[in-house]
Each structure stands twice: as C-alpha cells, then as structure tokens.
Structure 1
Amino acid sequence: MNATRTIKLGLSVCLTFIITACHQSSEQVDERENQAQIELKETSFENLPNWQHDDLSAALLSFKQSCIKISTTNQELPLLSQITINTEINTHLALQKACQKAKQVQIKPDLARQFFEHNFQPWLIRSDNKEQGLFTGYYEASVNASYNQSAKYSSPIRKKPKDLVTVDLGLFKPELAGQNLVGQVVNSRLQPYQERKDIEASHTDDDEVLLWLDSAVDKFFLQIQGSGLAELDNGNLVRIAYAGNNGHNYSAIGKPLLQRGELSKESISMQSIKAWLNHHPEQAKQLMNTNKRYIFFREHAGMGPIGAQDVELSAERSLAIDPSYYAYGLPFFVDLEHPQKGSNNIQKLVIAQDTGSAIKGPLRGDFFWGHGLAAEENAGKMKSLGKAWVLLPKN
C-alpha cells in the first residue's frame, strides 16, 4: 500500500467559523476567503484512531440505508467533485458495487469491519495545508404542537408552497452538482421567493399549515435543525421533516447579539441564544426576521428524521457534508473534539447523508446527535476541531 500517494487541488474556499451548531445554518462569527490547497493522502485503517474499537455494525446499518438511494443514482456521476482522481474509483458505479456486497453482510461488528476494510480505502483530508477542520453538531428538535390554531398554538409550521420552484443546477452543468436555485415563477421568469418577514406577515390558509406551535422561538430553532418530533395536544407524537426552503441565505442572529453586548463569546451557544429570545419577546421577532431564510416541513412516518440524501439519519452515525465536494453515501472516519469538557474524542465511522447551508468546504461537517435532551445539549455546544478521512471504494 502506498501511504504517501496524494491528490491535490488549489481553489478559493470560504471558511466559516461557527458559534452555535445547527443543521440548516449556523451562527457565524467571522468569514475569510483563502486560496486553499486541498489534498487527499492515502493511508491505512491501522492509522485511524480507535478504528479497532469502533462498533462498525451501526455504521454498516447506516451505510445500507444510503445504498437505497445510491443504487438509483447515475453510475457515471463522480463521488468527489472539484478533485481529479482515478475515474474507476470516483464513480457511483464503484460505490454501487460496494452496496451490492453490503447486502450480503450481517450486522455484526467483526463482519462490518471486514466489509469496510476489504472494500474501501481511507484517505486523509487536508485543506490549506491543515489536517483539522471545523465540525459542529445538530439534533432532532422537540416542539409542542396542535393541528388546530388557538391562542396557545398560534405559530404556524408551513407546508412547502405549491409555487416554490427548485432548480438542480447540476442537471444543466455537471460542475454545479449539489447546487440549487430556489424561487417562484412570475410572468414566465424565475424570481427570488419571499423573505422570512414577508412569509411570516402573509395570510395563512388552513391547507398551507402543517401544524401550529406554541412558541415562535421553538419554531425558529426547529427550522435551523431541519427536522423535529412534535408532541401534539392530544398526546400523540408526529415526526416532521424538511420539505424545502425559500432560497435565501441564512443570516446569523448570534453575531448581532455579540456586537450589542447581549451575550459574550464565552457564554454564547444555541441554549444561551434561545434563552435570550424567550426573555426578550418584543425584540426576538425583529431579530429572527433578520434571517431571511425560511424552512418548510412535511410529516414523516419513519423512525428517524430525513436528511438531504432522503434517507433516515442515524444518531452519531450520520454526517452533514458539503455536496459540492462529496457525494452522499460516502463513509467518513472522524476524530473530533467532544463538546463536553473532559470527554474522549469522537472517533467513529459516519456516513455522509445530509448537508446544511453553513456546511461549506472540504473539511467542514455537521455531526448528527439524534433526539433528546443530551443530543440537544451536545449539539448546542459543539464547535469542535477535528480530522476526517474519506473512505473511497477500492479499485
């Protein structure tokens, strides 16, 4: 095995620094543009920290979920974009062959390890001559809801509008794979869709509403996470999933709170921002409307939330990546700082099954923690440095 073989590419990358972790978008502190050098360095599984102790059966199960979509993808599409690599291992056909083999493998730790070691090759990701990138976390939010509007339940969760149009630019130019245009057709021309403040102020018909929530702040953070579990006023639970967005960029609300001195860099997190909004209801609406992005939802009857690959996410085994670099379904091994001080690093195999508006660049990821209070706590605090290895199919 050649442990020094590398693949390089120079290009301009915008590096985003995050204050609070989230799925659809993240709180930004600073941005800078660099002329980055992207490098993939071939290595061995023995060099992956904790590889031998990771229970890979959960990762294999998550990979099999992705294979459902991988099997229907165009075989000629690349697994890595913007990087020149051996064509035979850089196609969905190569990943589809691995999926065919995965069907025969039982969900057992030893068999899962053999499967990944026999069918994949790990490559260390470097960007701008650095091996560490930024990794945040997200989770499946919990909200209180009702199907009926009332004084208590007055904040609408909207379905995807019928006039919302999404254009996959990759269908027109392969180099734009993973990039979309969103808008509405006005006089036969595609125009930008309404901003958050306009949508919130517009009249809402009953058939446009999925659920009514008891908190506008909870709705805002539900839209950031992109999925959630709603507890209805009749005691039933309904899982809701991302259905689309209005096409506008996300604007961080943490940054102005820092600038105004409402929160400090040491104290700011998803939890502290949420607490500030709840304690300042008059200012909260105006502040949330500075974020022009708006998320629409649908009901989902499955056992877990749905990611951008349109498969169910797995707690601590799903990763949101930048699809302009990597194809969904690729396995990644990560070594990340744990958001809880004193805890061991997160060292495990995860599958690329999702993305987010703040997840930009080859060494940028969002780690899915799952559902519940612990998941929310970890996701809200996570802004971790870490390494990542992409596992490519063997020739």
Structure 2
Amino acid sequence: MTPAKASDVTYEVLDFDQLDGWADDDHAAALEVFLKTCRDMDDVDWRALCRFAEANPDAREFFELFFRPVLINDGKEALFTGYFEPELDGDRYRSVRYRYPVYKMPNEALESNPWLTRREILETGVMEGRGLEIAWVDDPVELFFLQIQGSGRIRLPDGERLRVGYRGSNGHPYRSIGVELVRRGIYDAHQVSAEVIKNWVRRNPEAGRELLYHNESYVFFREVSKVPSDEGPLGAMNRSVTAMRSIAVDPVYVKLGAPVWIEKDGKKPMRRLMIAQDTGSAIKGAQRADVFFGTGDAAGQAAGRLRDPGRMVVLMPIQRAYALLPESAL
C-alpha cells in the first residue's frame, strides 16, 4: 500500500471535549508510558514537553495544556488490530523435536533489498551451516506467526526464557495469508483470526506450507534477553512497549512517541490514550493502529480477535498542530 499524496491528506484540529470518553481515561497511566520514550524523540518541541512531563504534572492537565488533538485523514477507513508477544517452545540446539530455526540476519539481506523470498530462504539451503541460528523451535506455524508479531519468547527445556526481537527482513512486502484465504473462498472475512489460520494450516500441511509461502516477507531476529522479564518487548523506538497503552502506527503519518487517542468501536469499544511506540509491515495509513495486548496465549487470543473500525486522533504540540492547517482554516 502506497502512502496517500500529501495533497490528499487532511488535518482537523479538535477540542478535547470532542474526544469520546476523554475525561474517563487514566491519563496518569498514559503519561507514564509517554515518559518511557519521549526522551528519545529527536525534536526540540517534543523534548521540551518531555521535560515538563518529568516534573510530575497533573496528567490530564499536561495533555490538555500542551497538546491539541489532530484528526489525520488519508481517505482510508480506520482499522484497529492487535498484536502480542508470543511464547514458543524451543532449544538452543537442534533435535528431533526442535528443528525449525529462528535466524539471525545474514549480511546478504542487509546489503540487498529485496533479498530472497520466503520460499527461497527455506528451500535452497542458503542459510544452512553458517551459524545463523539463534534457537530452534518445534512448530513452523508458530514460528511464522512469531515473524508476524516481530518479537517473542522461547521457552527452553531448562526453564529459561530466550527473548528475541526484530532485526530486519528480506525486503519483500508483507502479504496477508488471512486475506488470501478469504480470496480463495475458504473463509469469509469475519471468520478469519490467527487461530483459524493456524488450525487450517495444520489440517492441510501441504497446502498450508504453500499458503505460508504466499507471504514472501521473511523476518530475521536478534537476541534481546537483557530486557527485564517483567517488561514488554522492544518496539520500534528500542524501548519496551506496554500492554494496552502502546500501539504500532504508520510513521509516515504519526510521529513515533506521540500520544494517540483511540476510539475503537466494535463488540468491545475502547476509549483510551495510547502512545505510538512501534511500527509494523502491515500497519499502513493515517487511521491504522495495532494495539499491543501483552505476552502469552491469552494476549494472543485477544489480539487475534481484534479487527474493528473507529477513529484515532493524534495529540500534537500546539504550534505543530495549527501549522498543519491550511491558511484558510486559521
């Protein structure tokens, strides 16, 4: 998906009383998450706001005093999905049970963009015998979804948890296998979830392997076990993300580190101030967000069910917010 032309993107500055549920949120929780990454923002305005935030202000007053809500529209409907940090069973050494490798990024993939496809990486033997394996896991389907999530934990036989994070990819665009199942008429769109896809691939091993190859993108990892076990995985800002307060966004439209007000509709509406601290290959558009649900199976099930409409509003420093408006709107 290509970004909208700059001339097609519109900006509308709102008042805080136009944000549904704003007064009822836990602004202090959002401010705590904002502080995790605001020090890393490479902009004078944002760093000044970060210094104010570090002085322990009243959280709601801080956001209302120094920010303005900006609705950014690129002509595409809003879509909220979820992601999580999966846990897989594996080992540092190959065995009969653990035989599917979690790879480091080879130099060729760094130097060539795009590099080989998923099929070529897994079927030509180009990765073998080079010491690129971080670990081995017991389930190729879970490994595929680890790549989609971009980070995870591997439970080793001795009880240790090995943590891996996104290092890079082969440069091919992400292609949704859920969308492909719908295109083939196997499922209707409302039926597709991560668990449905996993079960179909396992029931149809040959066709399932070919389905996974439909997504030519392949993700490589790095070990990040120094991240404390009680904190979330590293996001795009190289800081731990926080369950139900961090989102992945498209940085073409939303600055990483910015607060974002979420009005997610659907069966379980969500009205909450999030912080844009991550990105994703499938997260494209001004009204596109991926909500981080946490670690483990329960988080995965909740994240996999999320596919809802709504709207997202970016909180921007006041001067920057009004600078986005055309002169006729001032």
Q: More strand per residue: 1 or 2?
A: 1
Q: TM-score, normalised by structure 1?
A: 0.74
TM-fit CA distance, 1:312: 1.1
Choose the corresponding residue for 1:50, options 8, 15, 21.
21
Tell me the SS of whatever aligns to 2:12.
strand
Task: State the partner residue of 2:300.
Answer: 376
Tell me the SS of whatever aligns to 1:58.
helix
Could you say if the C-alpha distance between residues 348 and 148 of structure 1 is closer, same or farther in structure 2, counting changes exceeding 3 Å?
A: same
Task: State the partner residue of 2:263.
Answer: 335
The answer to whether the 8 Å contact 1:135/1:385 transfers is yes
Counterpart check, 1:39 vs 2:14? no
Task: State the partner residue of 1:392.
Answer: 316
Counterpart check, 1:349 vs 2:280? no
The answer to whether the 8 Å contact 1:105/1:115 transfers is no
Task: State the partner residue of 2:241.
Answer: 313
TM-fit CA distance, 1:35: 10
TM-fit CA distance, 1:211: 0.9
Per-residue Cα deviation, 1:206-251 (whole angstroms, up to 9, x for no partner): 6201110000000000000111121111111122111111101112
One-letter amino acid of the structure 2 residue matched with residue 56 of structure 1: H
Task: State the partner residue of 2:122.
Answer: 200
The answer to whether the 8 Å contact 2:79/2:289 transfers is yes
Task: State the partner residue of 1:152.
Answer: 97
Task: State the partner residue of 2:327.
Answer: none
The answer to whether the 8 Å contact 2:260/2:275 transfers is yes
Distance 2:316 2:80 in 1: 21
The answer to whether the 8 Å contact 2:108/2:115 transfers is no
Choose the corresponding residue for 1:226, options 150, 160, 170.
150
Task: State the partner residue of 2:72.
Answer: 125
Tell me the SS of whatever aligns to 2:134.
strand
Task: State the partner residue of 2:47.
Answer: 96
TM-fit CA distance, 1:258: 2.7
Distance 2:302 2:276 in 1: 20
Residue correspondence of structure 1 range 1-395 to structure 2 within 5 A: 37-70=8-41, 73=42, 92-105=43-56, 111-128=58-75, 133-165=78-110, 183-184=111-112, 192-201=114-123, 202=125, 203-205=127-129, 207-300=131-224, 301-302=226-227, 303-338=231-266, 341=267, 343=268, 345-395=269-319
Aligned length: 313
Task: Structure 1: state its 5+ residue gaps.
Answer: 1-12, 16-32, 74-91, 166-182, 185-190
TM-fit CA distance, 1:142: 1.5
TM-fit CA distance, 1:14: 5.3
Could you say if the C-alpha distance between residues 35 and 312 of structure 1 is closer, same or farther in structure 2, counting changes exceeding 3 Å?
A: closer
One-letter amino acid of the structure 2 residue matched with residue 323 of structure 1: P
TM-fit CA distance, 1:34: 9.8
Counting aligned pairs with the same residue, the percent is: 36
Distance 1:116 1:127 in 2: 25
Per-residue Cα deviation, 1:288-344 (whole angstroms, up to 9, x for no partner): 122111101112121211111222111111111111122211111010025xx3x3x
Distance 1:35 1:123 in 2: 16
Could you say if the C-alpha distance between residues 97 and 369 of structure 1 is closer, same or farther in structure 2, counting changes exceeding 3 Å?
A: same
Distance 1:335 1:357 in 2: 23
Distance 2:213 2:73 in 1: 37
Could you say if the C-alpha distance between residues 297 and 266 of structure 1 is closer, same or farther in structure 2, counting changes exceeding 3 Å?
A: same
Q: More helix per residue: 1 or 2?
A: 2
Task: State the partner residue of 2:324.
Answer: none
Q: TM-score, normalised by structure 2?
A: 0.88
Could you say if the C-alpha distance between residues 126 and 262 of structure 1 is closer, same or farther in structure 2, counting changes exceeding 3 Å?
A: closer
Tell me the SS of whatever aligns to 1:135.
strand
Worse overlay, 366-375 or 351-360: 366-375
Per-residue Cα deviation, 1:152-204 (whole angstroms, up to 9, x for no partner): 00000001223332xxxxxxxxxxxxxxxxx42xxxxxx63111111112242
